[in-house]
């Protein structure tokens, strides 16, 4: 008898399966491009170091809207290269260190956050330039080859032109360091392009990768296959209601045509099917409708998976009643 038959499965079995679903990595062409470019930069740095040569480091800029899958792509990249480079931040040598840009993103706060990520105790009475001198020294001591900044668009948010140029100069100084140059992996929202394009010298040393939106027509078959792949991982069947073009178009709209959000919704729907029906579940559009309703607080008539004219629904809004706030009376 199948160990996942109703008689044998437990909540623990299901939770382990949900963990497996969350770990499932489905690449997009942009993710493969990131992988290939990062691998090439790593190999070149290894070759340069072996010959005792130092060159200005090149960097990568990964750009995409919220929910496009940037964080997942970087996390998978670090996981994939964990055997090719030292990535354990608890060890003395750590060749890849990443952090999220803090708020407010002044160069002093970013420098302090970078020092903490490097495991170095920060003394709060130092000024920005002195902090970044410490950062460069710690990067050398820890033999760090790549420094990742997530939400890097915040480096220039609410700053003057002079402050933004200071950001650019600091980034260039890390790459151009004559003692220990470090490559950057900058990931963030589209505004990140403004920072890099502000300086021609920086721009020519950065390889750009932009994660595009899902296409309502071209990606239909791909989306259907992704749903099937998650169902296969969960060892459950799928119904005809999630195997057609109309469903795929609803799913893409529910995710605002962002790949990362789409995968997240699929995981939620498959998990919901497992928790409500176990491994005997048959994934249907109803599971997607129910998780969308819970996620967005949407009534049926504002539920992308139920409403007939779903194209009018903004999937980014929570508790959307479909009314324009400007049409109501002032409170």
pLDDT digits (tens, 9 = 90+) for 263-308: 999 999 999 999 999 999 999 999 999 999 999 998 999 999 999 9
**Which tokens in the block code for residue 173?**
């100084």
Paired strand residues for 61: 186, 208
Asked whether the predicted pLDDT for residue 2 surpasses 50, the reply is no
Q: Which spans in 188-279 are helix H?
A: 192-197, 200-203, 220-234, 245-254, 259-277
Does the domain at 29-210 match CATH 3.30.1050.10? Answer given as: no
Sign of CA dihedral 253, 254, 260, 263: negative
Residue with tokens 């170095």: 120
Tokens of 276: 């409500």
Strand partners, 150: 100, 187
Q: What is the pLDDT of residue 177?
A: 95
Residue 63 phi, psi dihedral angles, 5° rounding: -120, 140
Compute the average pLDDT of residues 12-19. 93
pLDDT of amino acid 1? 37
Per-residue confidence (pLDDT) for residue 324, from 0 to 100: 58
Distance CA 85, CA 329 (A): 60
Q: What tokens were used for 216?
A: 């309502």
Cβ-contact 211, 261 below 8 angstroms: no
Report residue 67 as tokens: 């929910």
pLDDT of 329 = 42
Total residues belonging to the chain: 331
Check residue 270 and give its pLDDT: 97
Residue 37 vs residue 54, higher pLDDT: 37
Least confident of 161-170, 175-184, 274-283: 161-170
Q: What is the mean pLDDT of residues 20-45?
A: 95
What is the pLDDT confidence band of residue 152, given thresholds at 50, 70 and 90? very high
DSSP state of 316: T
Output the pLDDT for position 8. Answer: 54
Beta bridge partners of 238: 283
pLDDT tens string 24-36: 999 899 999 999 9
Rounded to a whole number of angstroms, the distance between the first and last alpha carbons of the chain is: 63
Within 8 A by CB and 6+ apart from 216, the residues are 249, 252, 253, 257
Q: Strands of 96-100's sheet, edge to edge? A: 96-100, 146-150, 183-188, 59-63, 206-210
Average pLDDT over residues 177-186: 96
User: Which residue(s) pair with 99 in the sheet?
Assistant: 149
Mean pLDDT of 54-83: 94
Interval 217-234: pLDDT, tens:
999 999 999 999 999 999
**Residue matched to tokens 């050398």:** 140
Q: How far is 232 from 229, CA to CA, in rounded Å?
A: 5
Out of 114-118, 157-161, 250-254, which region has the weakest mean confidence (pLDDT)?
A: 157-161
Q: What is the pTM of this model?
A: 0.86
User: Is the pLDDT reported for residue 4 higher than 50?
Assistant: no
Stretch 201-223: mean pLDDT: 96
Those residues whose C-beta lies under 8 Å from the C-beta of residue 273, and which sit 6 or more positions away, are 234, 236, 281, 282, 283, 284, 287
Element (H, E) at 63: strand 59-63
Question: What pLDDT is attached to residue 161?
Answer: 79
Share in percent of the chain as helix, strand, coil (round to 5): 50, 10, 40
Q: Which stretch of DSSP H or E encloses residue 187?
A: strand 183-188
pLDDT at 309: 94
Query: Residue 328's pLDDT band (boundaries 50, 70, 90)?
Result: very low
Pair 254, 242: CB distance under 8 Å = no
Give pLDDT tens digits for 100-142: 998 888 888 899 999 999 998 776 677 778 899 999 999 999 9
- Give the start-to-end residue ranges of the domains of the chain: 11-24+215-312, 29-210
Structure tokens at 313: 């629904």
Write down the mean pLDDT value for the chain: 90
Distance from C-alpha of 49 to C-alpha of 52, rounded to nearest angstrom: 5
């Amino acid at each position: 008898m199948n160990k996942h038959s109703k008689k044998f499965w437990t909540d623990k079995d299901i939770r382990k399966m949900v963990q497996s679903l969350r770990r499932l990595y489905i690449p997009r062409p942009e993710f493969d491009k990131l992988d290939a470019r990062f691998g090439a930069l790593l190999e070149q740095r290894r070759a340069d170091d072996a010959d005792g040569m130092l060159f200005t480091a090149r960097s990568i800029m990964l750009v995409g809207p919220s929910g496009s899958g940037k964080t997942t792509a970087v996390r998978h990249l670090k996981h994939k290269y964990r055997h090719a480079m030292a990535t354990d931040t608890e060890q003395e040598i750590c060749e890849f260190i990443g952090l999220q840009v803090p708020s407010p993103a002044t160069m002093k706060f970013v420098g302090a956050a970078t020092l903490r990520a490097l495991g170095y105790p920060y003394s709060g009475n130092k000024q920005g330039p002195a902090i970044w001198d410490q950062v460069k020294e710690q990067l050398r001591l820890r033999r760090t080859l790549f420094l990742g900044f997530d939400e890097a668009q915040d480096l220039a948010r609410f700053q003057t032109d002079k402050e933004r140029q200071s950001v650019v100069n600091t980034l260039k100084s890390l790459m151009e360091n004559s003692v220990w140059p470090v490559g950057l992996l900058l990931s963030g929202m589209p505004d990140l392009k403004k920072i890099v394009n502000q300086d021609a010298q920086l721009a020519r040393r950065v390889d750009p990768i932009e994660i595009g939106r899902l296409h309502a027509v071209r990606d239909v078959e791909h989306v259907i296959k992704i749903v099937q792949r998650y169902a296969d991982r969960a060892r459950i069947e799928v119904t005809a209601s999630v195997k057609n073009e109309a469903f795929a178009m609803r799913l893409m709209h529910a995710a605002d045509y962002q790949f990362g959000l789409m995968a997240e919704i699929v995981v939620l729907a498959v998990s919901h099917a497992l928790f409500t029906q176990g491994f005997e579940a048959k994934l249907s559009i109803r599971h997607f409708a129910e998780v969308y309703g819970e996620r967005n607080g949407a009534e049926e008539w504002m539920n992308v998976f139920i409403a007939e004219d779903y194209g009018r629904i903004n999937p980014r809004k929570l508790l959307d009643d479909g009314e324009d706030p400007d049409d109501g009376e002032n409170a």
